[in-house]
Chain A
């Protein structure tokens, strides 16, 4: 059993403490916006914010986030930076299949929280999630647009 805070709400979940946060979010809490792509911290589809830091939730045992704030894509627009990013994603039609985009947006949100006006190098360093549809340039354009809207 574990007690965690997800999108501002305290949740008590009946799972083994070593269960990856990813599967607690998806299966136990029904928050399926966070995606499974690899399970080994390679793809970033499962990225959420833990205390504002982009974190690959497939590698995070649920008991390690007790007492910390987990934010998922479902709450992204409650964050002003997240809302600006979503607006930019919509304006630029960034997604293709869309499967990686929850993770991309969470990573981008963490980036802009840390670095409001990132240069190319900062974007490259922070945005390491895979996109099989090759939307990398559109993602970078979305981040630039959101950072300029600030």
Chain B
């Protein structure tokens, strides 16, 4: 009941920001259209929709981090959180209320992404459904990262770190646009240690139906969820106490 009231507020604040919707939904859609248009006009197979769509679906999740971090940082900077801290809401209510409502938004974004992919020639199979479910672990990671960033940074820093740095990390270190094997070296090693490429490979494995290829990527993503969520809860509680 209390949690529901707080969660619905989180969802409203995010969904009613036109900039959020424009970027969060619009940007991935524009990318998928643009890259497919490029593919249509070049002879080599660079952006095949079966590979591109899962990549863009994961890339779109980086905006979930931005949304949640921006909301939490802004709330911390204003007095609304102070007011809510004096109500019977518990720390658990705050943490769940800031994270749970973002999950359906993330899933909706993934669905929109696949709808455009279908228009661009992706086959309709039941694997699409599994792919949408398989996005959930990655979504949880990005949402937990949002809670962490929102608890640690102020809203200006969130704009730079989540808005610029994270979206670029997700874009370049995930193998969405180019095969990281081709780059190799330190670049590939770093990418392998970060969760982004694993999230994309997991999604690609499910969409292609090669389910055994989900591993070890799923483990990487689950590990990153555990670590990030742990740190996020710690950081959130710490800033709550410091009020």
Are chains A and B native binding partners rather than an unrelated pairing? no
A residues near B (Cβ < 8 Å) are none
